[in-house]
Amino acid sequence: MQEGPPRTPPPRTPILLRHLMDLVAAGVSAGHLRADTRVCAYMKSPLPPLVNGIQGDFPRDIMLEVSNLLVFYENALALNDFSMKVDAGSIVAVIGSNSAGKTTLMNTISGLIIDTQIKEQRKGGERITIYGRIIFEGEDITYLYPSERAKKGMALCRERHPIFPESDLLENLRIAGYLRTKPEIAETIDYFFHLFPPMARLKNRKAGFLSGGEQQMLAIGMALMVKPKLLLLDEPLLGLSPLMQTTLLDAVRLIIRETGLTLVMTEQFARPILPIIDRGYIIENGMLTMEGPGLELMDNPEVKAAYFGV
Ligand SMILES: Nc1ncnc2c1ncn2[C@@H]1O[C@H](COP(=O)(O)OP(=O)(O)OP(=O)(O)O)[C@@H](O)[C@H]1O
Ligand SMILES: [Mg+2]
């Protein structure tokens, strides 16, 4: 029997997208979506391990609620009535272009802005005004100092990977974990090398001599040293190559699956992160302009035009 012409395999992305959309339409939870075999295969990563017998699914209580946040620097309005909700165990992204207010939001959630506000008041200089409310695990933390928020389980990994350039990689991790016991520090350092295996051979290198991508991995590792419940990442993909972006996002997904922590990240470019987030908030000039599940935003023509670079 004569064989017909070779068949071209159908393109992968549309099929996966249809599959994902079917799952979303069927009301499958974000945790189960991430654990779906085909989604995992597409993302080229192994299935998540069982956590307390549950695969990739975590309680959906609200961990963080930001309500009607307004932040002024002197007379400039950096955040304008911004609100968002973050479910425990979810990945949420705040997407916006330069000056949209992303760093201001992260600094306000983590409390760093309170430090800045106090310093500026002491100098008699620029005044920062904050209105609105931030609720973390049911408690109003709007006026708490950053150190108190850190004790409650928040860690911020600031923009442009702040590290100690003169100290080596291991010293940086240990410094970040200074409040924890030696066994806890050792355990988290092991976990860091499990997340980023190539970093193990760089453990004695001065952090200042690491590449931008390596410094960003280290900065995430430093934030993990405090074993946070809520990890805040301000533009973790900034200046990274597409390959490094993938490495970092794979690690981020692994962290969420394996530890169950909650993640809020900011980004300028939506394309690499929309497929992995549960919910996205689009911010422009400090204002919320759109919000929804990552897969819905991915299909939105306005989001594509503004943030996909097409
Ligand atoms: N300390 C400050 N004093 C005065 N204005 C500020 C200060 N920090 C930020 N701003 C202003 O607030 C607005 C929001 O800035 P922010 O740094 O939060 O934006 P961003 O989204 O993080 O931008 P980028 O993508 O460039 O990091 C900008 O117009 C910025 O100029
Ligand atoms: Mg910023």
Per-residue pLDDT of the chain (310 residues; tens, 9 = 90+): 445 555 554 444 344 455 555 666 666 655 565 556 555 554 544 434 333 333 344 345 899 999 999 998 877 889 999 999 999 999 999 999 999 999 999 999 999 999 888 888 788 776 888 899 999 999 999 989 999 999 999 999 998 877 899 999 999 999 999 888 999 999 999 999 999 999 999 999 999 999 999 999 999 999 999 999 999 999 999 989 999 999 999 999 889 888 889 999 999 988 889 989 999 999 999 999 999 999 899 888 888 888 776 4
The answer to whether position 222 is within a domain reads no
The answer to whether position 177 is within a domain reads no
The answer to whether position 183 is within a domain reads no
CATH (domain of 242): 3.40.50.300
Instruction: Give the pLDDT of residue 73.
Output: 87
Query: Average per-residue pLDDT in the chain?
Result: 83
Q: Is 98 in the pocket of ligand 1 (CB under 6 A)?
A: yes
The residue nearest atom 16 of ligand 1, judged by CA position, is 101
Atom number, ligand 1, closest to the C-alpha of residue 101: 18
CA-to-CA separations, 220 to 17, 56, 141, 173, 217, in angstroms, rounded: 30, 21, 24, 10, 5
Query: Does residue 82 contact residue 131 with C-beta atoms inside 8 Å?
Result: no
Within this chain, do residues 93 and 147 fall inside the same structural domain, yes or no?
yes
Tell me the one-letter amino acid at 89: G
Instruction: Write the pLDDT tens digit of every residue in 64-118.
Output: 999 999 998 877 889 999 999 999 999 999 999 999 999 999 999 999 999 888 8
Within this chain, do residues 25 and 80 fall inside the same structural domain, yes or no?
no
pTM above 0.75, yes or no: yes
Question: How far apart, in Å, do the first and last CA atoms of the chain sit?
Answer: 47
The answer to whether position 189 is within a domain reads no
Domain end point (choices 24, 41, 57): 57
Within this chain, do residues 147 and 270 fall inside the same structural domain, yes or no?
yes
With vertex at residue 197, the alpha carbon angle to CA 150 and CA 251, rounded to the nearest 5 degrees, is 50
The answer to whether position 5 is within a domain reads no
Contacts 24+ apart (CB under 8 A), 112-118: 112/146, 112/156, 112/158, 113/71, 114/143, 114/144, 114/145, 114/146, 115/145, 115/146
Instruction: Give the pLDDT of residue 24.
Output: 60
Within this chain, do residues 51 and 72 fall inside the same structural domain, yes or no?
no
The answer to whether position 184 is within a domain reads no
CA-to-CA separations, 101 to 93, 98, 120, 146, 245, in angstroms, rounded: 13, 8, 19, 19, 22
Atom number, ligand 1, closest to the C-alpha of residue 98: 25
Atom number, ligand 1, closest to the C-alpha of residue 76: 5
Q: Determine the Cα–Cα distance for residues 153 and 160; give it in Å rounded to an integer.
A: 22
Within this chain, do residues 81 and 53 fall inside the same structural domain, yes or no?
no
Q: How many domains does the chain have?
A: 2
The answer to whether position 198 is within a domain reads no
Domain extent at residue 22 = 11-57
Within this chain, do residues 44 and 136 fall inside the same structural domain, yes or no?
no
Within this chain, do residues 109 and 23 fall inside the same structural domain, yes or no?
no
Q: How is the beta sheet containing 128-136 ordered, strand by strand?
A: 76-87, 62-73, 128-136, 139-140
